Amino acid sequence: MNANVEIITIGDEILIGQIVDTNSAWIGSQLNNHGLEVIRISSIPDKKAEILKALAEAEQRADIVLITGGLGPTKDDITKHTLCEYFDTQLVLNEDVLKDIENLLIPRGVEINHLNRDQALVPKSCKVIRNPMGTAPAMWFEKNDTIYVSMPGVPFEMKSIMENSILPELQNRFHTKTILHRTILTQGIPESMLAEKLADWENALPGCISLAYLPSPGQNRLRLTARGDNYDKPGNILEQEIKKLYKIIPANIFGEEEQNMAEVVGNLLRSKNQTLSTAESCTGGNIAHTITQNAGSSNYFTGSVVAYSNFVKSNVLNVRPETIATHGAVSRPVVEAMATGVKNLLETDYAIATSGIAGPTGGTPEKPVGTVWIAIAGPDKLISECYSFGKNREHNITRTTMYALNLLRRMILVEDEK
Amino acid sequence: MNANVEIITIGDEILIGQIVDTNSAWIGSQLNNHGLEVIRISSIPDKKAEILKALAEAEQRADIVLITGGLGPTKDDITKHTLCEYFDTQLVLNEDVLKDIENLLIPRGVEINHLNRDQALVPKSCKVIRNPMGTAPAMWFEKNDTIYVSMPGVPFEMKSIMENSILPELQNRFHTKTILHRTILTQGIPESMLAEKLADWENALPGCISLAYLPSPGQNRLRLTARGDNYDKPGNILEQEIKKLYKIIPANIFGEEEQNMAEVVGNLLRSKNQTLSTAESCTGGNIAHTITQNAGSSNYFTGSVVAYSNFVKSNVLNVRPETIATHGAVSRPVVEAMATGVKNLLETDYAIATSGIAGPTGGTPEKPVGTVWIAIAGPDKLISECYSFGKNREHNITRTTMYALNLLRRMILVEDEK
């Protein structure tokens, strides 16, 4: 059964352009993966009359209406009261929701006040969907064969509710075409060069498989989509094509789906019971931050010395001041000495070091903004590479982080093969 | 004269979530600055029937309809033909546009083909607005007192057309209401507690001022909006209300508009010619990363020791192993010793230290996940605070970072007052 979806995002901040509505794109891509078609996205203000009109219009067009925003505890959030009016019902206290709110806020030291308690009031006629990440629950309504779901607008709360509750329920209710996705994560090759390398393979892909490039700073994701009436056939074809892909770019594929590079590296280190430290100049702590975003990273990550000044490079990491004076801080000898220095100081098996010109200023004709040296020290090896990453400070930091982690990943794999 | 605007963005890629519609937010903020109110944003697919319906609906609601997308040279771009149908007109060749296209493409080595030439076909009844940055011109229509402008969807082309042609023309035509915005950035107080503290002030706000809460992990933004027929009066009232707000929560307001906390702290340090280092356990380098995201941070930020393991806490930061054994790594004595240790080692005026249980595991009944100690060492002061930030690892890291930077900010300001 084919089902049309309309997304309604509520909030003055969207219409005045204070925030970009990223919820709709995320919801659109998720529904697309589940074979449901979004026919319209409407963004409307926090005004009762506008919300009522949008709901009535959506009912004419869509089988499913997904609504985000306007469920906060403050006065400007009026979605819940407006839904009561639209569905001709009233607010009642939900004890389970109140308990969820208390469990979330009390450990944080928040004193529960009437605003928090008001968030446990829900329309009587809806099915309540609890929100594990926040205080506003989602609400599921049905009217004239149309399903309406109202969710909080905070992206991580909305995503958790969609993934855990709404998407599975919609899949149950609507019998949709089989669409399979696999996402392959690549690093170390720019998009246009990657496309050139994959051209023959891409041109020979069977009709049921489509390919999308999803570039982001420091990595390119390849999304392969297989479509068919049943699960097995497109699944097998997809599997075969991915095997071919691995043979074309073996050094560049570091993972699949939602994996992140630091997690892949962390799993390798953990499996070998080895440890890592970093010495960061231009990345300013971002490699350490990227590694420690992953739970359990304390098993293999010992720590980092962010050596933003030359004083720290010399006095903590034992880089000789003459080396810095002779070659400059952004140089092979300095970045190699940093890697060795932190590896010895923190007594780890591996170490990453970075030194570069993140920008926007600080470049010279010989070393323009974007020049970055990366060194990796291993149990019995020390390598270093120089890159030119361009003028954008944020991208330079991200790219350096990704390239450094991939260099380390490949060194660990080579050690493995010995 | 008050004028309502509707934005329509056309493109299948928006509805399947392949791209995020950033055009609407940009247009919304520009119109808002010019006193024009966006009442709805609609995103629709590249389908004739849907485009016709959306145009007719917008005509009922809006005085001005701004349309982006669907003007490219390929088969899936059908906006222009659909506009001809809607406005009952036909395509005619525009020689000026053809010249613009040739001037743009020939120097790039593109051979002009029939697809390029078709882009010089424009609806006969529209006013053509030339596109200095691309091949598709914009088109201005009027029908039943409604203005319609169709623009290319490529953001930099659309922006250039808006800035150079559309916004000035709209300002000429509509004598607009004045709308003023001020955004106040607060830290260190959860949304519901903030709302309670501000309730009396909020309830007493004059009718021309409205307030919105924009929460995100570790900070809450307050957006005040003033509306009026001229500039001066609402501007003065807004100014007065903001002065009152500063008196209610003086310690929590750290900046305004687009500032970030690390930038505010950096400016304070730079103005006093003082330096900062960090010793990070649970934040894993994120404070250093947050500081070094700002260009010029090397002027005041010396570096960091990310002491993820106790070995680093003792051997690099000189925290006595007995202190760790007696009190545990997440404790006041350890975090204070870390702050003092890094301040001495990196020879800075100020130092931040963090130690906590980021989660999801590692908690105990006495120190559950989310328990965080933060210490700030200053030229002649050492303070420390304990927080409970909840169960989400990512938010714990972000919240600790924001709270730590705000504690430092307040210490610097107090030093200033002496």
Tens-digit pLDDT profile for chain B (418 aa)?
578 999 999 998 899 888 899 999 999 988 987 888 999 999 999 899 999 999 999 999 999 999 999 887 776 778 999 999 999 999 999 999 999 988 888 877 777 888 788 889 999 999 999 998 888 999 999 998 999 999 999 888 899 899 889 998 998 888 766 678 899 999 999 888 999 999 999 999 998 898 888 888 889 999 898 887 765 688 899 999 999 999 999 999 999 998 999 999 999 999 999 999 999 999 999 999 999 999 999 999 999 999 999 999 999 999 999 999 999 999 999 999 999 999 999 999 999 999 999 999 999 999 999 999 999 999 999 999 999 998 899 999 999 999 999 999 999 998 766 6
**A304 has which bridge partners?**
A278, B306
- Shortest Cα distance, chain A CAs vs residue B411, angstroms: 23
Cα dihedral A109, A115, A121, A122 in deg (nearest 10): -100
**A354 has which bridge partners?**
A280, A374
Q: CA nearest A317 in B: which residue?
A: B316
Handedness of CA B410, B401, B370, A346 (dihedral sign): negative
Contact at CB, B215 and A154, closer than 8 angstroms: yes
Q: CA nearest A293 in B: which residue?
A: B394
Interface probe with B: pick from A57, A111, A276, A292, most Cβ of B within 10 Å: A292
Interface probe with A: pick from B5, B43, B355, most Cβ of A within 10 Å: B43
Q: CA nearest B216 in A: which residue?
A: A154
- What's residue B115's pLDDT? 79
**A305 has which bridge partners?**
A279, B305
CA within 13 Å, CB half, A251: 9
Intra-chain end-to-end CA distance of chain B, in Å: 53
- What's residue A226's pLDDT? 86
Q: What is the DSSP letter of A62?
A: -
Query: In sequence order, which residues have a C-beta less than 8 Å from that of residue A132 and are 6 or more positions away?
Result: A100, A160, A164
Give yes or no for A20 touching B (CB within 8 A). Answer: yes
Give yes or no for A304 touching B (CB within 8 A). Answer: yes
Ordered DSSP codes for B236-270: HHHHHHHHHHHHHSTTTEEEETT--HHHHHHHHHH
What is the residue type of A30?
Q
Q: Cβ contacts (< 8 Å) between B347 and chain A: which residues?
A: 311
Cα separation of B148 and B136, whole Å?
16
Give yes or no for B211 touching A (CB within 8 A). Answer: yes
Contact at CB, A306 and B305, closer than 8 angstroms: yes
Picking from A14-18, A218-222, A312-316, B162-166, which range would have the lowest pLDDT averaged per residue? A218-222
Question: In 3D, which of A177, A176, A304, A184 has the Cα closest to residue A245?
Answer: A184
List the single residue in A54, A116, A393 with the smallest CB-CB distance to B192: A116
Cα separation of B251 and A87, whole Å?
44
Q: CA nearest A397 in B: which residue?
A: B293
Contact at CB, A305 and B308, closer than 8 angstroms: no
Question: In 3D, which of B353, B352, B394 has the Cα closest to residue B370?
Answer: B394
Contact at CB, A41 and B15, closer than 8 angstroms: yes
List the single residue in A19, A306, A394 with the smallest CB-CB distance to B285: A306
Q: Cβ contacts (< 8 Å) between A309 and chain B: which residues?
A: 298, 302-303, 346
Cα separation of A189 and B53, whole Å?
44
Q: CA nearest B6 in A: which residue?
A: A15
- What's residue A195's pLDDT? 85
Interface of B with A in 124-183 (CB under 8 A): 181, 183
List the single residue in B39, B213, B301 with the smallest CB-CB distance to A74: B213
Contact at CB, B181 and A72, closer than 8 angstroms: no
Alpha helices in A174-231 (DSSP H): 191-203
Q: Cβ contacts (< 8 Å) between B371 and chain A: which residues?
A: none
List the single residue in A54, A72, A360 with the smallest CB-CB distance to B213: A72
- What's residue B213's pLDDT? 86
Mean pLDDT of A51-65: 95
Give yes or no for B33 touching A (CB within 8 A). Answer: no
List the single residue in B28, B315, B394 with the smallest CB-CB distance to A17: B28
Cα separation of A149 and A23, whole Å?
14
List the single residue in A26, A44, A291 with the smallest CB-CB distance to B17: A26
Contact at CB, B20 and A25, closer than 8 angstroms: yes
Contact at CB, B293 and A284, closer than 8 angstroms: yes
**Domains by residue range for chain A, with CATH:** 4-173 (3.40.980.10), 178-256 (3.30.70.2860), 261-417 (3.90.950.20)
Q: What is the DSSP letter of A314?
A: H
Give yes or no for B370 touching A (CB within 8 A). Answer: yes
Q: What is the DSSP letter of A349?
A: S
Contact at CB, B316 and A316, closer than 8 angstroms: yes
Q: Cβ contacts (< 8 Å) between A16 and chain B: which residues?
A: 28-29, 32, 38, 181
R_g (Cα) of chain B, nearest Å = 28
Mean pLDDT of A173-195: 83
Q: Cβ contacts (< 8 Å) between B24 and chain A: which residues?
A: 14, 17, 21, 43
Give the pLDDT band (50/70/90) at residue A104.
confident
Question: In 3D, which of A223, A266, A220 has the Cα closest to residue A242?
Answer: A223
pTM: 0.76
Contact at CB, A285 and B306, closer than 8 angstroms: yes
pLDDT tens digits for range A12-22:
999 999 899 99
Question: In 3D, which of A152, A161, A158, A166 has the Cα closest to residue A71?
Answer: A152
∠ at Cα B158 (B152, B162), nearest 5°? 130
Interface of B with A in 243-272 (CB under 8 A): none
Q: Specify the pairing of strand B64-68 against strand B146-151.
A: parallel
Contact at CB, A285 and B304, closer than 8 angstroms: yes
Give yes or no for A204 touching B (CB within 8 A). Answer: no
- What's residue A111's pLDDT? 85
Q: What is the DSSP letter of B107?
A: G
Q: Bigger pLDDT: A185 or A234?
A: A185
- What's residue B45's pLDDT? 92
Q: Bigger pLDDT: A2 or B15?
A: B15
% residues pLDDT > 90 (chain A): 72
- What's residue A418's pLDDT? 64
Contact at CB, B307 and A303, closer than 8 angstroms: yes
Query: In sequence order, which residues have a C-beta less than 8 Å from that of residue A23 and are 6 or more positions away?
Result: A7, A9, A68, A69, A153, A155, A158
Give yes or no for B363 touching A (CB within 8 A). Answer: no
Residue A325 CB neighbour total at 10 angstroms:
10
- What's residue B253's pLDDT? 97
Give yes or no for B390 touching A (CB within 8 A). Answer: yes
- What's residue B177's pLDDT? 67
**B224 has which bridge partners?**
B182, B211
List the single residue in A44, A288, A305 with the smallest CB-CB distance to B284: A288
Interface probe with B: pick from A289, A315, A395, most Cβ of B within 10 Å: A289
List the single residue in A107, A284, A308 with the smallest CB-CB distance to B370: A107
Q: Cβ contacts (< 8 Å) between A115 and chain B: which residues?
A: 192, 195-196
Give residue for tokens 């979806």. Answer: A5
ipTM: 0.76
Q: Cβ contacts (< 8 Å) between A293 and chain B: which residues?
A: 284, 393-394, 397
Give yes or no for B318 touching A (CB within 8 A). Answer: no
Residue A270 has pLDDT above 90, yes or no: yes
Give yes or no for A317 touching B (CB within 8 A). Answer: no
- Shortest Cα distance, chain A CAs vs residue B95, angstroms: 35
Q: How many residues does chain A have?
A: 418
Residue A263 has pLDDT above 70, yes or no: yes
Picking from A32-36, A68-72, A320-324, B158-162, which range would have the lowest pLDDT averaged per residue? A32-36
What is the residue type of B260?
N
Per-residue tokens: A316? 């903590």
Contact at CB, B32 and A17, closer than 8 angstroms: yes
Cα separation of A385 and A79, whole Å?
55
Give yes or no for B210 touching A (CB within 8 A). Answer: yes
Contact at CB, A76 and B210, closer than 8 angstroms: yes
Task: Determine which helix (DSSP H) or strand (DSSP E) holds B210, and give its type and residue range.
Answer: strand B209-216
Question: In 3D, which of B140, B158, B165, B136 has the Cα closest to residue B150?
Answer: B140
What is the residue type of A354?
T
Cα separation of A242 and A261, whole Å?
19
- What's residue A177's pLDDT? 66
- Shortest Cα distance, chain A CAs vs residue B94, angstroms: 33
Mean pLDDT of A372-377: 98
